[in-house]
Amino acid sequence: MPNPDTETKTAFRLPPVAEKCVVRTKSGPDRKGHFGYFGGKFVPEILMPAITELEAEYRKARKDRSFKEELREILRSYVGRPTSLYEARRLGERLGGIRVFLKREDLTHTGAHKINNTIGQVLLAKRMGKTRIIAETGAGQHGVATATAAALMDLECEIYMGRKDTVRQSMNVFRMELAGAKVIPVDSGTRTLKDAINEAIRDWVTNVHNTHYVIGSVVGPHPYPVMVRDFQSVIGKEARSQLKKITGGLPDLIIACVGGGSNAMGIFYPFVRDQGVGMVGVEAAGEGVDTDHHSATLSVGRPGVLHGTMSYLLQDRWGQIKGAHSVAPGLDYPGVGPEHSALKESGRVKYVAVDDEQALAGFKLLCETEGIIPALESAHAVAYLAEAAEILPKDSAVLVNLSGRGDKDVETVAEIFRERGGK
């Protein structure tokens, strides 16, 4: 169906990376959780009853008025939703006169979009009669958001975190502990996020009778990619109506960073059918996509199966999973949500990669022009915005998901700048 909002914009040309927009007629996965070739449930048999139950309970909860109202009320009074949509005028001017709208997920309680999902899932777990919550975390943001939701709803909570990450992000370890969670350092494999997920799945396999596993992104077996997307879609829904109030129309381009892909799915999804709205997912190129130190899964990976789902992966030719790297710990994952893989294949969303250097420049740019310290993850989106601005027509409306605040990263950044003599 042609969208009236886009009809008037025929003269507008998307940046080359976002040019090939195909509108998908069908959204969401099939009944087995497949987005085309991607997705599915590649899990040990022991977990099948649990994810089948989760799927059924989630479907019921989605239709249940009281569940939806309870969720909405917590999001409003506790999380601080709706988050504001802020027009970053100085930044827009600096970038040659485009209109930049920042969706301020950094202003939520705990400081990142992650909480939208954890509140939803923990509420669901409680409804299912589970007494124990587990989660994985890399940067610690999802761990903090899970521990927070578990504290709010009075459930026992244990968080798996790669040993390396517990050292890199010790402050978040303390925040989780303050919220009453137990943080379990993971020493297997690469001792980072992917291994924390392995360990969380092993725990779930063992304690599935009383435990719900809160996955932190749109990854994992069906129904997680759908469920997490739905809980995060509140971002895009709000942004859509907020932007309509300001500009009377839809954005020309939406930009979000992609680790597992939850903040991106959350802001993209309500616009997926709007032809003419360009979308770009920004992955972390780390030290460069031609090195071994990056997390640009969609840009240079190959489809494969990890953590219960078929999606793009960083892997060697034998199918062993490679380690990922980024200056932004939350992007440091060798997989990505299956729906992103499908959106890439269909051409609906373009995926690009921005390296550590560019991300740091994006970080500084937003601090200087707007007085907003973005999370290093979100700084990747800002960095790509600066790149896209060079070819965007004047007055283009660009929606950027500011997925989190940078408090957690200031030490890292300070250290990097110190090493370079204050720059």
**Contacts with ligand PLP, residue ranges (CB under 6 A):** 112, 114, 138-139, 141-142, 217, 257-264, 330-331, 375, 377-378, 403-404
Query: Of the residues 136, 283, 339, 370, which is catalytic?
Result: 136
Residue 9 bears catalytic tag: no
Euclidean distance between CA atoms 2 and 218, whole angstroms: 29
211 vs 217, beta carbon nearer ligand PLP: 217
Beta carbons within 8 Å of 388's beta carbon, 6+ residues apart: 15, 17, 253, 255, 280, 398
Helix (H, G, I), strand (E, B) or coil at 336: coil
Q: Of 43 and 324, which CB lies nearer to ligand PLP in the complex structure?
A: 324
Q: Rounded to whole angstroms, how far apart are CA atoms 248 and 339?
A: 29
Q: How far apart are CA 160 and CA 177, in angstroms?
A: 12
Taking each helix axis as running N to C, give the angle between helix 356-370 and helix 376-389, from 0 to 180 degrees, rounded to the nearest 10: 90
| Interface with another protein, residue 36, by CB under 8 A | no
Nearer to another protein, 104 or 307 (CB): 307
The residues, any chain, with a CB within 8 Å of residue 387's CB and separated by 6 or more, are: 354, 358
Q: What residues between 185 and 204 interact with another protein by CB under 8 A?
A: 188-189, 194-195, 198, 201-202
Residue 201 binding target from ligand PLP, another protein, none, CB below 5 to 8 Å by type: another protein
Closest CB 200 distance from another protein, rounded Å: 9
Closest C-alpha among 154, 96, 94, 147 to residue 130: 154
139 binds, among another protein, ligand PLP, none (CB under 5 to 8 A by kind): ligand PLP
Q: Is 291 in the site for another protein (CB under 8 A)?
A: no
Q: Segment 202-231, which members bind another protein (CB under 8 A)?
A: 202, 205-206, 208-209
Please tell me whether residue 44 binds another protein under the rule CB under 8 A: yes
Instruction: Kindly identify the residues of this chain, within the stretch 303-342, that bind another protein according to CB under 8 A.
Output: 304-308, 313, 315, 317-321
Is 136 a catalytic site residue? yes
Interaction between residue 343 and another protein (CB under 8 A):
no
Catalytic residue among 194, 341, 403, 408: 403
**By CB under 8 A, residue 254 contacts another protein:** no
- Token output for 234: 């509140």
**Of 367, 370, 363, whose CA–CA distance to 412 is shortest?**
363
Residue 241 annotated in active site = no
- The per-residue b/e assignment along 242-274, b for 16 or more CB within 10 angstroms, e otherwise, is bbeeeeebbbbbbbbbbbbbbbbbbbbbbbbeb
Partner from another protein, ligand PLP, none binding residue 305, C-beta < 5-8 Å depending on class: another protein
Catalytic residue among 41, 57, 103, 114: 114
Q: How far is the CB of 90 from another protein (least distance, A)?
A: 45
Task: Calculate the alpha carbon distances from 93 to 89, 90, 103, 272, 386 in Å.
Answer: 6, 5, 18, 28, 11
When asked if residue 129 is in the footprint of another protein (CB under 8 A), the reply is no
Rounded Cα distance between 295 and 297, Å, is 6
Count of residues binding another protein (CB under 8 A)? Answer: 34
Q: Is 130 helix (H, G, I), strand (E, B) or coil?
A: coil
308: left (phi over 0), alpha (psi -120 to 50) or beta: left
Residue 265 — φ and ψ, nearest 5°? Answer: -60, -40
From the list ligand PLP, another protein, none, pick the one residue 299 interacts with, judged by a Cβ distance below 5 to 8 Å according to partner type.
none
Residues near another protein, by CB under 8 A: 32, 40-46, 48-49, 188-189, 194-195, 198, 201-202, 205-206, 208-209, 302, 304-308, 313, 315, 317-321
